Amino acid sequence: MIKGLFCGLTGLDITYYQNEYPLENQKSKTNDYRTFVGGPAANAAITYSILGGNTTLITCLGNSIIAKAIKTELLEEYNIDVIDMAADSQQLPSLSSVLVNMKKASRTIWSGQQQFYINDENTYEQMINESDFCFSDCNLPEISIGLLKKARESEKDIVLDTGSWKPHFPECLKLADEIIASITCNPPGSDLLTFLKDTKVKNIAITDGENDTFWLESSNSGLIKVPKIQSVDTLAAGDILHGAYCYYRFYEKNSFVNALEKATLVASESVKYFGPREGVYNIKKNKF
């Protein structure tokens, strides 16, 4: 079974479904609220696992009650091996409050993230050697940069998810083979495509929400049409695309563009349902 090594942010999303935002210093109530394991790397890893991949997730969670619950769910519900680089910490993991506007199918996120002390006794070599590819959301640079360097040394395929630009991105980007970026990811004073010309990145995709996805492979480029559907919840749709892409690219051995096309359909299916999983399970049940 093709094994994927995912690295990056994991947390808990506390999600509220309602149509209005609370006013400052006011209280807003809804009877429709849920919790999901979240974070770009975790959502991608879960998607890859649901579709059928063998998954290891390297992240920072700690030893709090909430962190233990997250690790238990990842292992027991999704069969994901979790390597917690902050296992001895009592800090809270990433916690996000998410408001999903059901009329607009939009989501607004309040994200709480802390920097963890990393246990240097943990190493990546064995996990990298046992994996077929490495994916990182480029968060948690205290662990992701070191892992990507070792993955590059081991000649593993490296896929990056880059959201809004962060100062450590150049160090990550120079190590990648393929990048699926958000249109909001622009280096200061430049644009992403121009910046990437000075790197060894082979394949590039730039997503733009419900708009078409641009792709560049060597000297070829094009657009992937995003299905026009009535969405109800876009939470984690981008993360789902990344996880599905890894599945179709490395597990099913599709070409770069074909894997993107299939992953786009999975992400589009996911926004038809509340929460980030039901659409993926539906795709798994009714394979292409």
Give tens-digit pLDDT for 14-62. Answer: 999 988 877 888 888 888 999 999 999 999 999 999 999 999 999 999 9
Per-residue pLDDT reduced to its tens digit, 227-281: 998 888 888 999 999 999 999 999 999 999 999 999 999 999 999 999 999 999 9
The position carrying tokens 């979790």 is: 82
pLDDT of residue 29: 85
- Helical packing angle, 65-78 and 40-51, nearest 10°: 20
- At the topology level, CATH places domain 3-20+32-120+130-285 in UDP-N-acetylmuramoyl-L-alanine:D-glutamate ligase (3.40.1190)
Q: What is the C-alpha end-to-end distance of the chain, expressed in Å?
A: 20
Q: Which residues of 120-139 are buried (b: 16+ CB within 10 A; e: fewer)?
A: eeeebeebbeebbbbbbbbb
Range of weakest confidence among 6-10, 11-15, 75-79, 163-167: 163-167
Phi, psi of 172 (to 5 degrees): -75, -45
pLDDT of residue 122: 58
Per-residue pLDDT reduced to its tens digit, 100-153: 887 787 888 888 887 777 766 556 788 899 999 999 999 999 899 999 999 999
* Alpha carbon distances (Å) from 132 to 122, 151, 250, 252, 288: 20, 10, 8, 12, 23
Question: Is residue 182 within 8 Å of residue 238, measured between CB atoms?
Answer: yes
Alpha carbon distance 274, 230 (integer Å):
12
**Residue 244 corresponds to which tokens in the numbers above?**
């599905």
pLDDT of residue 119: 67
* Beta bridge partner(s), residue 220: 217
pLDDT of residue 287: 77
Summarize the confidence of residues 185-195 as an average pLDDT.
88
- Helical packing angle, 278-285 and 256-270, nearest 10°: 120
Question: Is residue 6 within 8 Å of residue 43, measured between CB atoms?
Answer: no
In this predicted structure, the answer to whether residue 13 has a pLDDT above a threshold of 80 is yes
Residue 83 has what DSSP assignment?
A: E
Alpha carbon distance 288, 265 (integer Å):
10
pLDDT of residue 120: 62
